[in-house]
């Protein structure tokens, strides 16, 4: 037996808090009866649960890793007719959803799942799940500029949290550099805006890790299921609440 709001969240209805609001509003029925008491326990396998008259689907929990190409929308539909993540889900029978977003111009690791509770934990700012990117930037930022990123830099929507930053590669003619950066926030176009703030705009951005998961050699445009070990590692990561303030940044290596 599990709490009703947890079952709803796990089915992808919404966050735990949103599901609690639905219950209190009298919008949830269990076996035909309206339930408005938080903490009510149900059998997720046998209970007939409806939200606004529509039954929730008890689907097999599915966890996928997708190497999103540049030029693909992190959505299941697009009014403008652009290519979306859904175009790559042929053969996936369960209804899975992206965990967070990758910008249209950004490629790399994207998690897809129908485990709503895990997805909400991974995306919630208070858990500070780390996300690592390789940013190819114009010019070569000096160590002082990377130190600014590591300590936190002021953007139009406030200071960023400390980050881990290091040189990955520098072109022979010193016209561009590849910087590895790990952030624990999920602001819109955050990494791009951070590098713009130090005068080194991003030409290419690729997410190579999300929490304990690494993109590895997964080809661009391909999807694979997560292993049991990866799923457990992801759940452990999501369960560890991060402190609101993180001290220090990453080590900088000069080119």
pLDDT digits (tens, 9 = 90+) for 30-61: 999 999 999 899 988 788 999 999 998 777 78
Cβ atoms within 10 Å of 184's Cβ, excluding its own = 17
Range of the domain at 41: 2-55
Note the pTM of the prediction, 2 decimals.
0.77
| 211-235 mean pLDDT | 96
Which pLDDT score is estimated for 115?
85
CA distance 9 to 53: 17
In a shared domain, residues 125 and 249: yes
Are 129 and 155 contained in the same domain? Answer: yes
pLDDT of 157 strictly over 60: yes
Q: Which residues pair with 169 in a beta bridge?
A: 178
Q: Is 103 one of the annotated active-site residues of the chain? A: yes
Upper half-sphere CA count for residue 226 (Cβ side, 13 Å): 24
Provide the CATH number for the domain around residue 24. Answer: 3.10.290.10
Rounded Cα distance, 246 and 124, in Å: 16
Across the range 12-23, mean pLDDT stands at: 87
What percentage of residues in the chain have a pLDDT greater than 70?
93
Distance between alpha carbon 92 and the CA centroid of its chain, in Å? Answer: 20
- Give pLDDT, residue 84: 95
User: Could you give the number of structural domains in the chain?
Assistant: 2
| Structural domain ending residue among the three candidates 55, 77, 93 | 55
> What's the pLDDT score for residue 60?
79
The reported pLDDT for the residue numbered 123 is 87
Average pLDDT, the chain: 89
- pLDDT at 252 > cutoff 60: no
Among 87, 103, 115, 169, the active-site one is 103
Per-residue confidence (pLDDT) for residue 126, from 0 to 100: 77
Are 18 and 122 in the same domain?
Answer: no
Sign of CA dihedral 157, 162, 168, 172: positive
């Amino acid at each position: 037996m599990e709490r009703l709001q947890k079952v709803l969240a796990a089915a992808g209805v919404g966050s735990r808090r949103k599901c609690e609001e639905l219950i209190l509003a009298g919008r949830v029925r269990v076996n035909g009866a309206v339930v408005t008491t938080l903490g009510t326990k149900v059998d997720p396998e046998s209970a007939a649960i409806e939200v606004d008259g529509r039954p929730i689907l008890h689907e097999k929990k599915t966890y996928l890793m997708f190497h999103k190409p540049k030029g693909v929308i992190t959505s299941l539909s697009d009014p403008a007719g652009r290519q979306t993540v859904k175009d790559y889900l042929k053969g996936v029978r369960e209804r899975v959803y992206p965990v967070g977003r990758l910008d249209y111009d950004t490629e790399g690791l994207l998690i897809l799942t129908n485990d709503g509770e895990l997805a909400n934990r991974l995306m919630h700012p208070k858990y500070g799940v780390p996300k690592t990117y390789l940013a190819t930037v114009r010019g070569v930022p000096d160590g002082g500029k990377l130190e600014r990123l590591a300590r936190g830099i002021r953007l139009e929507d406030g200071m960023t949290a400390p980050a881990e930053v290091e040189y990955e590669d520098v072109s022979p003619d010193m016209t561009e550099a590849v910087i590895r950066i790990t952030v624990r926030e999920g602001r819109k176009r955050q990494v791009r805006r951070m590098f713009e703030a130090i005068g080194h705009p991003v030409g290419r951005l690729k997410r190579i890790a999300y929490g304990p998961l690494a993109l590895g050699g997964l080809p661009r445009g391909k999807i694979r299921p997560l292993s049991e070990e990866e799923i457990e590692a992801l759940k452990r990561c999501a369960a560890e609440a991060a402190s609101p303030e993180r001290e220090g940044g990453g080590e900088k290596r000069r080119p």
